[in-house]
């Protein structure tokens, strides 16, 4: 067994009160990693993640911050470093979707919020990680994982091309940042989840959307948050120590 591969990583996950981020926090904590659980508004849900981790004798802390506000991102990272004694990895996961409609029907407020949370929020968090994670080459590399979407390559016509476009930006950010930060011993990767059964589906206005669209998925079913989170934790672990600039589809073949 390669012990370096499973060595504890001090991990911050944005948007970890629910869905994929929550699942990643539980998996990380179960393997002994200290975890900072960021959330925006659902304090009870974040506290429940921390309680579930404590019940497994794990270490975690819930940290409120809206990643779309740059003034809240630096304090979030300060608090995570203070609580965990430093940071080795960040999963930039927080993201939003909005009700299904055509671009022609979308109002300014929706487009502004979509770009603010999914693009600017990810840029603010990735920037803060880039400032704090550099380390000497004789240490295991630090890791940033960005959360894209299969929509970045499918475009989501008639549903949410705005969301898809924000995720295209995440793919490009992953490619550029991996090259920019390699010399600082930071790996940067992304995951493109497909249709995953989380609360986000309800935010599209069609709560059972992932199941309704199962016929479009080669594996014939939606994915679970846990299935995406397992790939995410592998990518930030030292088991993936030579993987950087990769965008991994976790989408049942879609």
Among the listed ranges 80-88, 104-112, 130-138, 191-199, the one in contact with ligand NAP (CB under 6 A) is 191-199
Please pick, from the candidates 24, 36, 83, 121, the single residue that binds ligand NAP as defined by CB under 6 A: 121
Q: How far is the CB of 90 from ligand NAP (least distance, A)?
A: 13
- What phi, psi does 153 have (nearest 5°)? -105, -15
Number of residues lying near ligand NAP (CB under 6 A) = 32
168 binds ligand NAP (CB under 6 A): no
Q: Tell me phi and psi for residue 40, to 5 degrees.
A: -100, -50
Calpha distance 173→124 (Å, rounded): 12
Cβ proximity to ligand NAP: between 7 and 247 the closer is 247
Determine whether 163 is an active site residue.
Answer: yes
The pair phi, psi for residue 229, each rounded to 5°, is -65, -35
CB of 30 to ligand NAP, least distance (A): 18
* Complex with ligand NAP: residue 20 or 133, whichever CB lies closer: 20
What DSSP character marks residue 149?
Answer: -
Helices (H) and strands (E) in the chain, counts: 11, 7
Q: Among 10, 40, 132, 187, which residue sits at the site for ligand NAP (rule: CB under 6 A)?
A: 40
Residue of 7, 45, 79, 243 that binds ligand NAP (CB under 6 A): 45
Secondary-structure percent of the chain, ordered helix, strand, coil, rounded to 5: 50, 15, 35
Q: Does 58 bind ligand NAP (CB under 6 A)?
A: no
| Beta-bridge partner residues of 37 | 13, 62
Closest by CA to 187, choosing from 236, 143, 128, is: 143
Stretch of 24-32, 80-88, 134-142, 193-201 lying at the interface with ligand NAP (CB under 6 A): 193-201
Regarding 204 and contact with ligand NAP (CB under 6 A), the answer is no
Out of 28, 29, 36, 67, point to the residue binding ligand NAP (CB under 6 A): 67
Q: Tell how far CA 206 is from the center of its chain.
A: 22
Helix (H, G, I), strand (E, B), or coil: what is residue 126? helix
Residue window 10-29: x/- pattern of binding to ligand NAP, with contact defined by CB under 6 A: ----xxxxxxxx--------
Tally of CB atoms within 10 A around 215: 7
Q: Which of residues 217-236 bind ligand NAP (CB under 6 A)?
A: 225
Alpha carbons 200 and 159: distance in angstroms, whole number: 14
Tell me the C-alpha distance between 146 and 95, whole Å. 10
Q: In the set 199, 207, 220, 221, which binds ligand NAP (CB under 6 A)?
A: 199
Binding site for ligand NAP (CB under 6 A): 14-21, 38-42, 45, 66-68, 93-96, 117, 121, 147, 149, 193, 195-196, 198-200, 225
Q: Which positions are catalytic?
A: 163
């Amino acid at each position: 067994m390669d012990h370096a591969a499973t060595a504890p990583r001090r991990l911050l996950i944005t948007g970890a009160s629910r869905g994929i981020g929550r699942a990643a926090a539980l998996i990380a904590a179960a393997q002994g990693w200290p975890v900072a659980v960021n959330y925006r508004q659902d304090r009870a849900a974040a506290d429940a993640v921390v309680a579930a981790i404590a019940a497994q004798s794990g270490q975690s802390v819930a940290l409120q911050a809206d990643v779309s506000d740059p003034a809240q991102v630096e304090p979030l990272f300060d608090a995570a470093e203070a609580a965990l004694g430093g940071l080795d990895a960040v999963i930039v996961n927080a993201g939003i979707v909005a009700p299904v409609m055509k671009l022609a029907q979308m109002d300014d407020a929706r487009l502004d919020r979509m770009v603010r949370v999914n693009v600017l929020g990810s840029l603010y968090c990735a920037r803060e990680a880039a400032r704090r994670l550099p380390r000497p080459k004789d240490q295991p590399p630090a890791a940033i994982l960005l959360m894209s979407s299969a929509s970045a390559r499918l475009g989501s016509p008639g549903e949410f091309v705005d969301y898809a476009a924000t995720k295209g930006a995440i793919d490009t950010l992953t490619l550029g940042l991996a090259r920019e930060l390699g010399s600082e011993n930071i790996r940067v990767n992304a995951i493109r989840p497909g249709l995953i059964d989380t609360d986000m589906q309800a935010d599209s206005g069609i709560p059972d959307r992932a199941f309704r669209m199962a016929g479009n998925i080669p594996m014939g079913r939606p994915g679970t948050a846990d299935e995406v989170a397992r790939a995410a934790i592998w990518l930030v672990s030292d088991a993936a120590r030579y993987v950087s600039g990769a965008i991994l589809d976790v989408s049942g073949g879609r």
